[in-house]
Structure 1
Amino acid sequence: MKRFFSGLLTVLMLVVLLAAWILLPWFAVLAVVVAIALWLFATRGGRLAREATKIGIAGLPQRWGASSVIVIGIAGVVGVLVAMLAMGEGFKATLDRTGDDSTAIILRAGSQAETNSVITRDQSPLISSLPGIARGADGKALASPELSQVVNLPTKADGTDANVQFRGVGPAGWAIRPQLKIVEGRRFNPGLREIVIGKGAQRQFRGLEVGQQLKLANQMWTVVGVFEAKDSHDSELWTDADVLGPAYQRNAFQSVTVKLAGKSGFKQLKAALAGDPRLKLDVDTTRNYYGKQSEGLTKLIKILGTVIGAIMAIGAVFGALNSMYAAVAGRAREIATLRALGFRGLPVVTAVMLETMLLALLGGLLGAAIAWIVFNGYTVSTLGNNFSQVVFQFKVSPELAWTGLKWALGIGLVGGLFPALRAARLPVTEALRSA
């Protein structure tokens, strides 16, 4: 029992050590690297460790089988981890690009999303008259009353139905979102059952080419154009709100998106809404609104990625332990000779650790490179908060690659520690006789 609890305590300490290493900021990691480099080049023990490391690295080609186990195992961990985190980053980046601080979205008080918000038609003109909203060249408020309807369309992948957001916008909807560009066809005409398609939705669903007709709400709608926004609107279908509402028997709007009048526009609008008892509404910048929409899924993906990465990391640690134990056993005579020549325990421990860390670094770089080549820019879709598909791209950023490298080095640190201690404790006379 004493040995069991001792082993359990050791494992827990290693887990804490690995977690602490992964959480270290970049400047702390740099400080550790600089300290190790100074010790290797400025002290006698460090110079001995450096020479022992050179001998171990020179023998790696003779141990390519065991070395490749470490490299490939760690590459798998890093590749999966970075790919999972890249999915969350891509989804978050898509929603973050959808909003900015120059526009605001108005919802019913207490509503967290458009799906559970209702703004009556008699409130719309009251909102347009409030201060803080920018006005166009014609003097009208740049306010777009909007509603959305989730509809089913067949996917290009396998023809199964999936949800897509069918958004009705007001006349000012285009002016409020100047990032939307028509890339094919034209805009829809107000009052007609015409649709423009986001480029992401066109890639994801069948039958959305310009000129084709869709049967929605038992009515025929004509696709007249394709737009590109490079944000979550790329996943939507757009039409006139005054046409979409009656088609689905909707007598109210769900939100009003407005262009703010200068830097003080948001404060003026928020104060005006709070001061009007007829308007029990909340307002937020579109940047904050869409940022909140991405939080839940991004956290879930990050947790799943970390858990999966941790499970794979445990396997990689055991693989590294087995490989390095085998390497130490195979080099028993070599290590004993170094000890006999005056290499003390610390240089030997350092040499084995540095060898393992080098293999871990190679595995981390390989895994990060594979994740970037295979997944960076890869387009997928998932359900957003409005229960419709949001098309986005994986985003393998330098920060994620750095996280993967820290995981790789952490695995190498843990996987090389026990074999390094065994090498340092190897009895010289026994090792020379057994060899």
Structure 2
Amino acid sequence: MKRFFSGLLTVLALAVLLAAWIMLPWFGVLAVAIAIALWLLLTRSGRLAREATKIGIAGLPQRWGASLVIVVGIAGVVAVLTAMLAMGNGFKATLDKTGDDRSAIMLRAGSQAETNSVITRDQVPLISTLPGIAKGVDGKPLASAELSQIINLPSMADGTDANVQFRGVGPAAWEMRPQVKIVQGRKFGGGLREIVVGRGAQQRFRGLELGKQLKLANQMWTVVGVFESGDSHESELWADADVLGPAYQRQAFQSMTAKLDGKDGFKQLKAALAADPRLKLDVETTRNYYGKQSEGLTKLINALGVVIGAIMAIGAVFGALNSMYAAVAGRAREIATMRAIGFRGLPVVTAVMLETMLLALLGGLLGAGIAWLVFNGYTVSTLGQNFSQVVFQFRVSPELLWTGLKWALGIGLVGGLFPALRAARLPVTEALRAA
């Protein structure tokens, strides 16, 4: 029973140590690295550990098979973990770029997304006259009453139907969203069944080439332009809201987006909406709105990434343990000889740990390199808050690569600890006799 509880406490202590290491900020890691370097350079035990480490590293080519198990196992953990986190990072970055603090979106009170919101046509002129909304060069309010229709289009990959957001916008939408730029063709004409498509949607779905016609709501629509925006709008199709609404028998709009007038624009608009009993609407900056849309899925992706990474890390730890135990057993005479000529337990422990950490670092760099080369910029799509596909790119940032390297070193730390302690406790006489 004592052994069981002792082992359980050891495992818990290692888990806490590993979690603390992974959460350690960069300056904390740097401080640890500097402390170890100074110990290796300035103390007698450190110099002995350094020499013992050189002996162990020199023998790595003779143990390349076992060393490769550690490197490849840890590389796999880092590559998968980094890829999963890069997916969540890319999705969040795409939606974060969609909004800003200079524009606001209005929905029916209590609505969480455009799909369950209604703004009646008689409310639109009332909203447009509210204080806090900026005016364009023509003196008209920069506000766009919009609706969103989910349509099915065949995917480029396998032809299966996927949900795509077909957005109806007002004339002010272009001036309010200066990041939306036509790169092919032209804008749709007012009152015409014409569509402009986002570059992301064009790359992921069939039939969206310039000049093509689509049959939607039993009517023919012509693709007259392609736009780029660098945000989630690039996954959408745009048309005139006054044409899209009647085509789908929509008597009302779903949202209204407005450009804010200066720093106090949002406060003025929110206060005006609250004071008018005819307008039971919620208002948020577009940054907050799209940030909330990405929050749930980003958390889910990140949680899955950590869980999958942790499961793989456990396997990598056992691989490192087996390999290092085998390495210690194979070097029994060498370790016993070092112990006999004056190498104490601490230098031997440090030497085995540093050897394992070096292999872990190589695995981490390999996994990070694979994740960067294969996944950075890789384009995928997933369902967004409105149940339509959002096209985004994996984003392998330096912060994610750093996180992957910390995971690699943490695996090396745990995987090398017990073999290192065994090497330090190896009886000299038994090791020499067995050898």
TM-score calculated relative to the size of structure 1: 0.99
Deviations 1:257-297 (A, max 9, x none): 11111111111111111111111111111111111110000
Distance 2:151 2:381 in 1: 16
Match of 2:275? 275
Deviations 1:287-325 (A, max 9, x none): 111111100000000000000000000000000000000
Match of 2:246? 246
Match of 2:65? 65
**What SS does the corresponding residue of 2:149 show, helix, strand or coil?**
strand
Quote the offset at 1:12 in angstroms: 2.0
Deviations 1:346-403 (A, max 9, x none): 0000000000000000000100000000000000000000000000000000000000
Distance 1:34 1:255 in 2: 56
Deviations 1:44-88 (A, max 9, x none): 111110111111111111111100000000000000000000000
Are 1:112 and 2:112 an aligned pair? yes
Distance 1:318 1:393 in 2: 34
**What SS does the corresponding residue of 2:418 show, helix, strand or coil?**
helix
Letter in 2 for 1:189: G
Match of 2:288? 288
Match of 1:41? 41
Match of 1:321? 321
Match of 2:131? 131
Match of 2:258? 258
Letter in 1 for 2:407: W
**What SS does the corresponding residue of 1:423 show, helix, strand or coil?**
helix
Match of 2:390? 390
Match of 1:235? 235
Match of 1:176? 176
TM-score calculated relative to the size of structure 2: 0.99
Letter in 1 for 2:205: F
Distance 2:30 2:269 in 1: 48
Match of 1:213? 213
Distance 1:137 1:413 in 2: 63
**What SS does the corresponding residue of 1:146 show, helix, strand or coil?**
strand
Letter in 1 for 2:50: R
Letter in 2 for 1:304: L
Match of 2:164? 164
Match of 1:74? 74
**What SS does the corresponding residue of 2:263 show, helix, strand or coil?**
coil
Quote the offset at 1:5 in angstroms: 3.1
Deviations 1:163-185 (A, max 9, x none): 00000000101110011111111
Distance 1:116 1:345 in 2: 68
Deviations 1:90-119 (A, max 9, x none): 000000010111111111111111111111
Letter in 2 for 1:208: L
Match of 2:373? 373
Match of 2:416? 416
Distance 2:46 2:117 in 1: 66
90-99 vs 33-42, greater mean Cα deviation: 33-42
**What SS does the corresponding residue of 1:119 show, helix, strand or coil?**
coil
**What SS does the corresponding residue of 2:390 show, helix, strand or coil?**
strand
Letter in 2 for 1:287: R
Quote the offset at 1:137 in angstroms: 1.5
Matches for 1:26-37 after TM superposition, within 5 Å: 26-37=26-37
Quote the offset at 1:408 in angstroms: 0.3
**What SS does the corresponding residue of 1:120 show, helix, strand or coil?**
coil
Distance 2:156 2:45 in 1: 64
Quote the offset at 1:23 in angstroms: 1.2
Match of 2:20? 20
- Which runs of 5 or more structure 1 residues have no equivalent in the other structure? none
Letter in 2 for 1:206: R
Distance 2:141 2:426 in 1: 82
Identity value in percent: 85
Quote the offset at 1:427 in angstroms: 0.5
Matches for 1:130-149 after TM superposition, within 5 Å: 130-149=130-149
Letter in 2 for 1:387: F
Q: Which runs of 4+ in 1 moved over 4 A?
A: none
**What SS does the corresponding residue of 2:224 show, helix, strand or coil?**
strand
Quote the offset at 1:36 in angstroms: 1.1
Letter in 2 for 1:361: L
Distance 1:74 1:357 in 2: 11
- Which runs of 5 or more structure 2 residues have no equivalent in the other structure? none
Match of 1:2? 2
**What SS does the corresponding residue of 2:71 show, helix, strand or coil?**
helix
397-406 vs 272-281, greater mean Cα deviation: 272-281
Letter in 2 for 1:101: D
